[in-house]
Amino acid sequence: MTEALDMDDDESIQNVFETFNEFVEIKKVLGPHLPIIIEKAIIISANTEHTANLREITMLFLELIAERYAKALIKKHGMNVIDKLVETGFQIASEDPTLHEGSEVNPPGMALDLLYRYA
């Protein structure tokens, strides 16, 4: 019997999103599920309780989605998904940058890159 993915298990979530990042090029795999996957990536990216590495992986996923699917998302789902991405990007970009000093991963800086992709 399989157990549901624990949304508090950073390592498991990171593995899932690393796999999603590998499948971004294959529209038939991710395309039908994009809204729910994007929603989860947004929630994880914005949650400062998750590790910076996990947040980096989910923001990378959202950037890859911008490059491959932004126009299709807007056409199929309207601006709601993009609005939520931009809102979350601003929220993350507004985090205190001193919380990430000395770290290789900087979520506020990554959020600016994310916003640039959706601009």
Cα–Cα dist 17/2, whole Å: 19
Q: How far apart are CA 91 and CA 86, in angstroms?
A: 9
- Helix 34-46, helix 52-77: angle, nearest 10: 140
Whether the model pTM is above 0.95? no
Q: Look at residue 69 in the predicted model and tell me its pLDDT.
A: 84
Taking residues 95-117, report their average pLDDT.
Answer: 86
The band of 2, judged by pLDDT with boundaries at 50, 70 and 90, is: very low
* Residue whose pair of structure tokens reads 């491959």 in the numeric block: 68
pLDDT tens digits, residue range 83-96? 999 999 999 999 98
CA distance 51 to 44: 10
